[in-house]
Structure 1
Amino acid sequence: MLSIGEFSKICGVSTKTLRYYAEIGLITPDDINIDNGYRYYAIKQLKKMLFINRLKSYHFSLEEIKALVELEEHQAEEELAAAFTCKRHAMQKKLNALAYTVKQMSTDILNLEQGIPIMSYLDKIDVQLVETQPMTLLYSRQRMTSADFETGYGTYFSKLYEKIAIDKLTLLGKPMTFYHSPEFNPVGNDTEFAIPIKEAVTGTRDVPGTLCAKSVLKGAYPELTSVYANLMEWLANEGYELVKSPYEVYITNPNEVTVPEEIITEVYFPVKKIATT
């Protein structure tokens, strides 16, 4: 048997953390002296603690770790592999995003060294006036927070694609997102997920063709704020105003690209010319 101090030292985990783990049922002492409350761990528990440490290093939450420990104890290798694969994919996306940010920063440093203003990249965002065609959209409208975006987009688009497949509907375009909220609300924004289809069925709405200011982003989604800012400046300079909710069209599937630079997103601002007096 090992005292809690010995167990703590061998595993590199504080006694405070071990006590908390015991409280939440993650790993409990093998024996507790009823006279003095001293906690003791069995030698065989070292392996379990090291497994928990490894899962922590993989950025699993404690709730996830509890579930994975149970899988490991039942020798559910296939389920463990699936969980690890999913986590690896999520971490790779974060690494790609970080690599993109580092590359972007390097470009900014080079430009500054050459006397080029750091925000000059906005001038390279092209704006076009286009007439869009009428569309029938299969849609789902949700109240979404910023934290919901990454998982929510996949969830709601998947449900729409599932309905298209089950009902044998005719797909006519790429997935789209409309932003109906008049201002940003951290509690939740009125967000519509939509996919153009041929048939008018329950859960669809018709969108007439309209004049739009359009820009295309080739890069990571956080850069979309720059596109929106540039579009608003263009509207002010050219004498147009936004008349309906802006929307995005996702030309590429982010799960099918290897680097953020390959992500292509179109941004549309339905507009009209401001009347002059």
Structure 2
Amino acid sequence: MKEGYYLIGEVSKITGISKDTLHFYNKIGLLTPDFTDQTNQYRYYSRWNLWQLDIITTCRKLSVPLEKVKQILNFHDNAKITQLLMDYRNEALRLSAYYQQVAEDILWYDQENRRISSDLNLADVQLKWLDEETVITGIIKRDVSSYHANMQEAAKYELQYAGSIQRKYGYLIDPEEMAQDRICKYREYLKIADCKYEHVNPDNLYLLPSGYYAVCIVRIVKDTADLQPLIQWMKDNGYTTDEVYAEELGLQLFDYIDDYYCEIKAHLIKNT
């Protein structure tokens, strides 16, 4: 065999690329040995093949897909190759941002749910000023117990376009039922992080008003909770409430309807 041609074992030794990988590249038409000896059907790789392998290895280190590597090998034009790699760079930046968001979402999910397993002071009531917030809520067009289906229908497109899983579910609850420690939900809302709600019907947007709130954490079991500390705090401080919201802690990815924690936020009205 003339100088400058190499059997597959020699190429594997020279380049460090396994024979299985070289066979695979040949099978998919990415890299075909330049010469076949007709007397014994041995296939030989040329110096040009070694140069091609160097290009392939470089592209694979950049995670360039094999189909694009094929294009690069066929171009024989460095300007075209540069443009293709720049296009791939833009895709790599998009994927990088996507996976960065995935990593942040997983961290957020972990931090949110750590709150549930942490020591929660269920008797602590705090006075807080909260800015107004716009949320997605369903229009009651079925029966009252269908509040979740109504909200899901209202939010479905926004959830499809949302770039993050970070969100909060909450409920409007009946203030009059609180005296009997009952959590009576009549409407559900959803807050999605960093969304402008461009894919939501304006009729499904609801404004949580700014103002002072009495805020506490409660454990809700079968739609009942100990709300007496909150009620007593409002009596002691001369407040009543016109709207009460129960916002779930964490984002649970399983059915936990009968036992979960919420942050109760009672919008305050000063007694006259």
TM-score (normalizing by structure 1)? 0.44
Structure 1 or 2, whichever has the larger Rg, is 2
